[in-house]
């Protein structure tokens, strides 16, 4: 089927079905072969490759010389909201999105080559949709087109060399300012699209802006037209549909708000989904119904959008435990497996064909919400839920999770998973769910006990910790990438960019970027030089003000060996 999509779209992408000669100098459209490869000179998917490893084949920078890294250039996006964007690099240009703008930067100097700007409509709004306005976690590239999702639920196809608009396609309604709209529910997009063979994957999320249900679309790269739409919450007749009482599924959330992974052999897209909505489960079974599809992993056949399986990691999710984190596709003990570190504090292992639960190994230092998982993948002895309007209960991890939106990496070289983890708890209670402009509010309150940031290396086979870089203060690492040169790189809430030996955890180099790091970095080869790109800027998060540097800023910093 995807071959069909390819034939239909090949011409518009500037691709012939015959392989193009690849040379370093001439313009080089992004072919299927390039999309399939691990990052080397280029970095073509926010998650590095389809299996989501954020692992590059480059070795110029390695433990012997990483201490000689220095800043080569800085780009200021003037960010108004948290920069969470993992850039791409291809054929001389770095692609970077922030605040509904897309830049192409010269990979060697950081100077702007072109800029594409999208104006958000004036009636965009709603009581907390500004929280995500202008956040981007990635863009996609295929053929001669770069694809950006804007906050107002639109996909923009932009020429990769000129920045000229090719198409704009809106999928669903966006959240409206409640002064102007009777109904302020809508989809606000922060996630990046993913280029697979012949299609662009477009995840659509509305979870915490009123809870409209989440979808994944497979779209035509030439026009943005949807080929199919997959629902995260099971539709009528699908297994699990009956776990949503009344009309609760209509506002049940479960949006996929991070880019998932794709298996070319199975032609299957794997994504985690957001929490069940509202946070207070009173209207969706009070925590006693599973609410399948929310806080879940969903496998979608990309030939037709049918859902192959769903696994619910947090049945009836009462804790705002999104499991939207990117699933990794790893050979575990010789068998291709879905490996999924998430907010619960556990790494979940699932059979890739059936979604059958294999095991869940803890990585968070303190987990109190359950004792573990049984053989069927169900939580054991979940603590009692708070009573609406009553006292709060203590829960670890806090709702920002053992790990959250700061991306992880897997290195085939070391067999280790690198996790941006944090150890926080919360006092958590339920309140009456208020409804304003038809938007259901959270119905929950929380106070946080801030713990420490910890950057973990976990053995993918055993699930055991191999090394850690534990910070004294709260935060998350901005996210990981690793390389065949045996390094892993990340940024921290304290403003450090760090490179460690990926096998041993020895810290090889740190650089004070002067602002909190919140995005995953990349590495690429430009004119024979390996670059590392890291991002600095954003609020420290969730009312935590532990770090003395000020909030805000939006810098992309390139590092090379001196």
Partner 1 sequence: MCSRILLVVVLLTPIAYFTAGLGSIEALAAPQSSNPLSGDESAIRDGKSLFRGICAVCHGRNADGKGERGQGSDLRKFKRGFTRYLEIAQNGRDTGRTQKMPAWGKVLPEEDLIKIGAFLETLAIEGANWVDPE
Binding site for partner 1 (CB under 8 A): 80-81, 99, 125, 127-128, 130-131, 133-134, 178-179, 389, 392, 399, 429, 431-434, 436-437, 441-443, 445-448, 539, 541-544, 552
Point out the residue whose Cβ comes nearest to ligand HEC: 128
- Say if CB 41 and CB 30 are below 8 A apart: no
Residue 38's contacts (CB-CB under 8 Å, 6 or more residues apart) are 48, 49, 53, 55, 56, 57
Nearest distance from C-beta of residue 467 to ligand HEC, angstroms:
39
Nearest distance from C-beta of residue 84 to partner 1, angstroms:
13
Nearest distance from C-beta of residue 179 to partner 1, angstroms:
5
Name the DSSP class of 441.
P
User: Binding partner of residue 267 among ligand HEC, partner 1, none, CB under 5 to 8 Å per kind?
Assistant: none
Report CA-CA distances (Å) from 148 to 86, 155, 219, 407: 12, 6, 13, 19
Q: Is 295 exposed, middle or buried (0-12, 13-18, 19+ CB in 10 A)?
A: buried
Question: For 281, phi and psi rounded to 5 degrees?
Answer: -80, 10
Closest CB to partner 1 among residues 237, 543: 543
Closest CB to ligand HEC among residues 442, 559: 442
Query: How many residues in the shown chain lie near ligand HEC by CB under 6 A?
Result: 2
Residue 128 lies near ligand HEC (rule: CB under 6 A): yes
Q: Look at residues 78, 73, 174 and name the one whose alpha carbon lies nearest to residue 126.
A: 174
The CA distance from 60 to 239, in Å, is 50
Closest CB to partner 1 among residues 5, 428: 428
Displacement of CA 51 from its chain's centroid (Å): 13
Residue 375's contacts (CB-CB under 8 Å, 6 or more residues apart) are 357
User: Binding partner of residue 441 among ligand HEC, partner 1, none, CB under 5 to 8 Å per kind?
Assistant: partner 1
Closest CB to ligand HEC among residues 38, 128: 128
213-242 CB burial, b ≥16 within 10 A, e <16: bbbbbbbbbbebebbbbbbbbbeeeeebee
Nearest distance from C-beta of residue 550 to ligand HEC, angstroms:
14
Residue 127 lies near ligand HEC (rule: CB under 6 A): yes
Q: What's the token pair of residue 102?
A: 């897309």
- Say if CB 102 and CB 114 are below 8 A apart: no
Nearest distance from C-beta of residue 539 to partner 1, angstroms:
6
The CA distance from 471 to 421, in Å, is 11
Work out whether the CA dihedral 187, 154, 272, 460 comes out positive or negative: negative
19-38 CB burial, b ≥16 within 10 A, e <16: eeeeeeeeebbbbbebbeeb
Closest CB to partner 1 among residues 154, 440: 440
User: Binding partner of residue 437 among partner 1, ligand HEC, none, CB under 5 to 8 Å per kind?
Assistant: partner 1
User: Binding partner of residue 57 among partner 1, ligand HEC, none, CB under 5 to 8 Å per kind?
Assistant: none
Closest CB to partner 1 among residues 55, 448: 448
Nearest distance from C-beta of residue 378 to ligand HEC, angstroms:
35
Nearest distance from C-beta of residue 494 to ligand HEC, angstroms:
24
Residue 445 lies near ligand HEC (rule: CB under 6 A): no
Closest CB to partner 1 among residues 334, 389: 389
Nearest distance from C-beta of residue 402 to ligand HEC, angstroms:
26
Residue 542 lies near ligand HEC (rule: CB under 6 A): no
Closest CB to ligand HEC among residues 206, 297: 206
User: Binding partner of residue 122 among partner 1, ligand HEC, none, CB under 5 to 8 Å per kind?
Assistant: none
Displacement of CA 327 from its chain's centroid (Å): 10
State the number of CA atoms in the 13 A half-sphere of 399 facing the CB: 22
Nearest distance from C-beta of residue 385 to partner 1, angstroms:
17
User: Binding partner of residue 452 among ligand HEC, partner 1, none, CB under 5 to 8 Å per kind?
Assistant: none
Closest CB to partner 1 among residues 45, 176: 176
Which residues of this chain interact with ligand HEC, rule CB under 6 A?
A: 127-128
């Amino acid at each position: 089927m995807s071959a069909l999509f390819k034939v239909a779209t090949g011409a518009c992408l500037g691709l012939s079905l015959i392989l193009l000669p690849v040379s370093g100098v001439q313009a080089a459209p992004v072919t299927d072969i390039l999309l399939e490869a691990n990052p080397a000179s280029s970095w073509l998917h926010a998650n590095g490759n389809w299996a989501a490893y954020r692992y590059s084949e480059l070795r110029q920078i390695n433990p012997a010389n990483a201490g000689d890294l220095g800043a080569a250039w800085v780009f200021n996006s003037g960010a108004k909201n948290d920069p969470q964007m993992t850039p791409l690099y291809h054929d001389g240009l770095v692609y970077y999105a922030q605040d509904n703008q897309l830049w192409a930067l010269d990979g060697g100097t950081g100077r702007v080559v072109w800029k594409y700007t999208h104006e958000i409509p004036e009636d965009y709004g709603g009581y907390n949709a500004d929280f995500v306005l202008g956040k981007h976690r990635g863009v996609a590239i295929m053929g001669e087109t770069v694809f950006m999702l804007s906050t107002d639920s639109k996909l923009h196809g932009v020429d990769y060399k000129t920045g000229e608009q090719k198409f704009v396609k809106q999928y669903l309604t966006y959240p409206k300012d409640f002064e102007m709209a009777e109904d302020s529910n809508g989809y606000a997009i922060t996630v990046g699209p993913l280029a697979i063979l012949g299609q662009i994957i477009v995840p659509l999320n509305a979870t915490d802006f009123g809870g409209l249900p989440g979808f994944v679309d497979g779209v035509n790269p030439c026009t943005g037209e949807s080929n199919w739409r997959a629902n995260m919450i099971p539709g009528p007749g699908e297994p699990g549909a009956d776990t949503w009482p009344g009309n609760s599924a209509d506002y049940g959330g479960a949006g996929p708000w991070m880019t998932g992974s794709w298996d070319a052999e199975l032609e299957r897209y794997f994504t985690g989904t957001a929490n069940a909505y509202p946070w207070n489960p009173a209207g969706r079974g009070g925590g006693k119904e599973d609410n399948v599809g929310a806080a879940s992993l969903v496998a979608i056949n990309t030939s037709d959008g049918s859902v192959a399986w769903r696994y619910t990691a947090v049945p009836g999710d009462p804790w705002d435990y999104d499991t939207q984190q990117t699933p990794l596709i790893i050979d575990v003990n010789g068998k291709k497996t879905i490996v999924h570190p998430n907010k619960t504090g556990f790494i979940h292992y699932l059979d890739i064909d059936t979604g059958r639960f294999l095991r869940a190994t803890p990585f968070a230092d303190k987990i109190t919400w359950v004792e573990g998982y049984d053989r069927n993948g169900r939580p054991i002895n979940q603590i009692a839920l708070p009573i609406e309007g009553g006292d709060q209960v203590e829960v670890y991890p806090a709702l920002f999770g053992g790990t959250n939106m700061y991306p992880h990496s897997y290195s085939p070289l070391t067999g280790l998973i690198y996790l941006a983890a944090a150890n926080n708890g919360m006092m958590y209670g339920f309140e009456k769910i208020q409804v304003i402009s038809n938007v259901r509010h959270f119905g929950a309150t929380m106070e946080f006990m801030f713990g420490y940031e910890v950057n973990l290396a976990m053995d993918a086979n055993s699930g055991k910790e191999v090394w850690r870089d534990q910070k004294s203060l709260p935060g998350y690492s901005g996210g990981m990438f690793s390389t065949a040169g045996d390094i892993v790189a990340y940024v921290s809430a304290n403003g450090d960019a760090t490179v460690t030996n990926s096998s041993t955890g020895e810290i090889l180099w740190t650089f004070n970027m002067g602002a909190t790091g919140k995005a995953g970095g990349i590495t690429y080869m430009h004119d024979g030089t390996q670059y590392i790109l890291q991002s600095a800027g954003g609020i420290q998060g969730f009312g935590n003000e532990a770090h003395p540097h000020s909030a805000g800023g939006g810098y992309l910093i390139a590092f090379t060996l001196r």
